Amino acid sequence: MLAKELISCTVLSGYNIQKDIENARFHSAFFTYEESMINDGLIHLLANGDISFAYSCSYTFSFIPCYHFFYIYEGTLTVTSGSSKSSYSKNTAALFEAGSEITYATNGKCRFYDAFILGAPLRLYHEFLPESIYYKKDSAGASVLWSHLSLISRLQGELSATDIFRISKWFNDILTELCVFIENSSKKMDCVPSYLLSVKNQMDTNYAEPMSLDDLEATYRISRYRICREFSFHFGESPMRYLNSRRIDAAKRLLLTTDLSVHEVGSQVGIENTNHFINLFKKDTGTTPLSFKQAAPVSISDLHYN
């Protein structure tokens, strides 16, 4: 029985089917499914591919209950299945356990890899790994993730016995690598200077307040160059880029849940210059704040924020 025969899609309210087809690009492959795969000790690939959306989208489809492995190349993806709901941002990997129905929602331009996988080992990986793992290529070290995903993505048609064992090994390699990375990251976080934790907390909670590198230098009596270097080392991006990401995330929420103007939204998240706000927003999402708001269906605020 082919996994492809078990999939069906339902476009959510607020969508035109033709619009959805024009918006999405799928490069997918489907493979054979048998019930014995659930407990035979291997990790089996049921389907996989790269998916991209040009603008806000939300859709639901049905599939056999399985795990999904995601890697987000661009944008933000929200995944919902039953009572489970997770949001993933750029440069994150995740292992998501889905029931027979799953909903994807994007709040702008988005591109990601998705593998539908099944097998007994996945339960233990799922229990150990956090909801999402920030895993940039330039900070992951000698990683197998991207090379293995490339190998898996090339597979088409009937899988040989050797292919099945290779796939299981590749996914075990990827998930084991993420487990080791998480453990090392936890140890690394124990060594984060206390002032950096304070800086990050300040940005998380007071992102709307005026904040510059000069302000941080004056507050913590540490040079801006050292702050930038150490913040980037421990958190994977510069402090101002991190701050702007928090502000844009907050702006998305306001755009989808209020009637505030673009200028008012920018002001409320701490970016008074409207042109600067629009440029930052477009760099993060691939679209302007107004286009982002207009493209979102009425139901998307419910999916993201209720």
pLDDT exceeds cutoff 80 at 137: no
Highest averaged pLDDT of the listed ranges 47-56, 66-75, 252-261: 66-75
For 138, other C-beta atoms within 10 Å of its C-beta total 7
pLDDT band (50, 70, 90) for residue 19: very low
Report whether 97 contacts 127 (CB < 8 A): no
| Whether residue 140 has pLDDT greater than 80 | no
Question: Which pLDDT value is given to residue 188?
Answer: 56
> What is the side-by-side order of every strand in the sheet holding 92-98?
24-30, 44-53, 110-118, 66-74, 92-98, 133-134
Per DSSP, 269 falls in state T
Task: Name the band, by pLDDT with cuts 50, 70 and 90, for residue 227.
Answer: very high
| In the predicted structure, residue 12 carries a pLDDT above the cut 70 | no
Quick: pLDDT tens for 94-122.
Answer: 999 999 899 888 877 889 999 999 999 99
Which tens digits make up the pLDDT trace of 149-166?
Answer: 989 988 887 888 899 999
> Does the structure show a pLDDT above 60 at 295?
yes
Among 22-26, 107-111, 213-217, 294-298, which range has the highest average pLDDT? 213-217
Question: Quick one: pLDDT at residue 185?
Answer: 65
Work out the pLDDT band at 20, boundaries 50, 70, 90.
very low
pLDDT at 190: 55
- The pLDDT of 126-130, averaged and rounded, is 92
Tens-digit pLDDT profile for residues 241-279 = 999 989 998 998 898 888 899 999 999 999 999 999 999
Q: What is the DSSP letter of 99?
A: -
Dihedral, CA atoms, 120, 7, 166, 27, nearest 10 degrees?
A: -140
pLDDT at 293: 83
Instruction: Find all residues with CB under 8 Å of 78, minimum gap 6, and list them.
Output: 85, 86, 87, 88, 104, 105, 106, 107, 303, 304
Q: In whole angstroms, give the CA distance from residue 113 to residue 102.
A: 16
Query: In which band, very low, low, confident or very high, does the pLDDT at 169 lie, cut at 50, 70 and 90?
Result: very high
pLDDT score for 117: 94
Bridge-based pairing state of the strands 24-30 and 101-106:
unpaired
Contact in structure between 203 and 215 (CB atoms under 8 Å): no
Q: What is the pLDDT of residue 135?
A: 85
d(CA 258, CA 266): 13
Q: What is the CA radius of gyration of the chain?
A: 21
Q: What is the mean pLDDT of the chain?
A: 82
Region 277-286: what's the mean pLDDT? 88
Mean local confidence (pLDDT), 292-305 = 56
Q: What is the pLDDT of residue 30?
A: 74
Local structure of residue 4 (DSSP, 8 states) = G
Q: How confident is the model at residue 139 (pLDDT cuts 50, 70, 90)?
A: low
